Amino acid sequence: MHAFYNRLGQFLVNAGLENKNTVLGCSEIEIAAQEKAYGVQFPLAYRLFLQWCGHTTLRSLDQDFKLGSLEGFWESARDLLAENEAALEPGGFVFGEWQGYSFFYFLLGSNNPPVKLCIIKSDSDLGLEYIDYGRFTDWLINQIKHLVKTRQSIRKINVHVPSIWAELDQIAQLAEHG
């Protein structure tokens, strides 16, 4: 899985989707302190993600997944769940949120855990909806694909989307081997 993050980082910089000097990872000490604070062992895919970019909001993700923001993510998730009289499923760990009305979480217990998005159904239909994204590394690749396509369609970047996606698919296979 180390090869997955190494290759992904290189590709994003080479493709002009990230700036090499702005991708800042967390130290092992910082990650271990958060694990201790939450009483969990982070999955390998998430630990390596944090080591790769845990102090950065990546342009290619256009969203905050920083280690230092965990408490805020959890606070938003708790509020959203309480408002909808729901609970996070057992083994769920919140690692990101979006504008207070949705949050990302993964299920503890595997090296490359499944990721889910919890969102409000609608303003008129009470309740929550859950979207499955597959494994953590699949979620990451798909988030980047979505933003590449969106940015290219609004002419924020000039790339050949099928080529970018093909390369990301090859990188995704590296997560299979470790």
Per-residue pLDDT of the chain (178 residues; tens, 9 = 90+): 999 999 999 998 888 888 887 778 999 999 999 999 999 999 999 999 999 999 988 877 878 899 999 999 999 999 999 999 999 999 999 999 988 789 999 999 999 999 999 998 877 777 899 999 999 999 999 999 998 888 888 887 888 889 999 999 999 999 987 5
The interaxial angle of helices 44-53 and 136-153, nearest 10 deg, is 40
Task: Name every residue whose Cβ is closer than 8 Å to that of residue 38 and which is 6 or more positions away in sequence.
Answer: 70, 93
Kindly tell me the sign of the dihedral angle through the C-alpha atoms of 13, 117, 27, 169. Answer: negative
Please state which architecture CATH assigns to domain 2-177: 3-Layer(aba) Sandwich (3.40)
What is the model's pTM? Answer: 0.92
DSSP 163: H
The number of beta carbons lying within 10 Å of the beta carbon of residue 76 is 20
What 3-state class would DSSP assign to 129?
strand
From CA 94, how far away is CA 99, in angstroms rounded? Answer: 14
Q: Is 24 exposed, middle or buried (0-12, 13-18, 19+ CB in 10 A)?
A: exposed
